[in-house]
Amino acid sequence: LLDKQKTSINAYFKEQTGKSYTALLKEVKELQKTKEDVKLPAYQQIVGLLNGWDAKSDEEKMAVADMQSVYSSLSKSLKKEVDSLSKSKTGKDFIDLCKEQAELKTAAQEKAQQEEEQKKSENASKIQEYQASLNSLQQDYDTYAQYAQSLESELADASDEDRSQIQSQIDTNNQMLYSLQQQIAYYQQQIAALQS
C-alpha cells in the first residue's frame, strides 16, 4: 500500500477502536501466540497445580516451590494468566506462592530430619539396652553350658542310684539352656531390626 493509504487505514481503525491498525495487528499476533503458548507443558503443569488447590495434599502444594524456573520461562502474557489464576485460587501471586511453599518445604524437611535423628538416637539407646541384656543372657548361657558338661562327667562316673537324679538335673539344665537360646535369639532379632 501507499503511505497515504496506510495513514488512512490507521486513522480509520484509530477512530473506530482507539488503536491503529498496526497496534491491533500486534495484539492479534500476541493473542495467537498466547493461544499457542497455553498448550505448553510448562504452563499446563502450573495450571494443573493451581486448579483444585484446596484439595491438594501438602506434598503436592510444596511442589510449587520447584516451579519458579518454569514460571520464569513463560511469556509475559502467560505469567499474567498464571498470576491471575494463582490469586484467585490462593490469594497470592505465583512467585509469592512459590516462596511460601519453599519455606514450608524447608521446614517440613528439617522436621523430618529431626524426627529421623531422634528415631536413630532412640534406636541406638534400645540397641545398647538390648545388647546389655544379650550379654547378660550369653553369660548365663555359658554358665549353664559349663554346668551341663560337669553334669555329663558326673553322669558317666555315677552309680545307678545317682544316675536318675543327675539325669533329672541334666534335663532341667537343658530346658534352661533352651530358654536362654530363645531369649538370645529374640534380642538378636530386635537388634538386627533396629539396625536395618
Percent with pLDDT over 90 in the chain? 37
Q: How confident is the model at residue 80 (pLDDT cuts 50, 70, 90)?
A: confident
**What pLDDT is recorded for position 133?**
95
Per-residue pLDDT tens digits for 14-47? 888 888 888 888 877 776 665 656 567 777 788 8
pLDDT above 80: residue 98: yes
Q: How far apart are CA 106 and CA 99, in angstroms?
A: 11
Evaluate whether 89 touches 50 at the Cβ level (below 8 Å): yes
Closest CA to 61 of 70, 53, 69: 53
Q: What is the mean pLDDT of residues 45-57?
A: 84
Q: Model confidence at 76, in pLDDT bands (50, 70, 90)?
A: confident
Give tens-digit pLDDT for 157-192: 888 778 888 889 999 999 999 999 999 999 999 999
**Are 84 and 46 in contact, with CB atoms under 8 Å apart?**
no
> Which grid cell is 130?
538390648
Q: How far apart are CA 137 and CA 141, in angstroms?
A: 6
Mention every residue, 6+ apart, whose C-beta is less than 8 A from residue 152: 170
Burial of 82 (0-12, 13-18, 19+ CB in 10 A): buried
Cell numbers representing residue 104 in the block? 514450608
Which residues have C-beta within 8 Å of that of residue 183, sequence separation ≥ 6?
Answer: 137
C-alpha 42 chain-centroid distance:
24
How many whole angstroms separate alpha carbon 16 and alpha carbon 63?
47
The yes-or-no verdict on residue 130 having pLDDT over 90 is yes
- On whether the pTM is more than 0.75, the answer is no
What distance in Å separates the CA atoms of residue 62 and residue 100, rounded to the nearest whole number?
Answer: 9
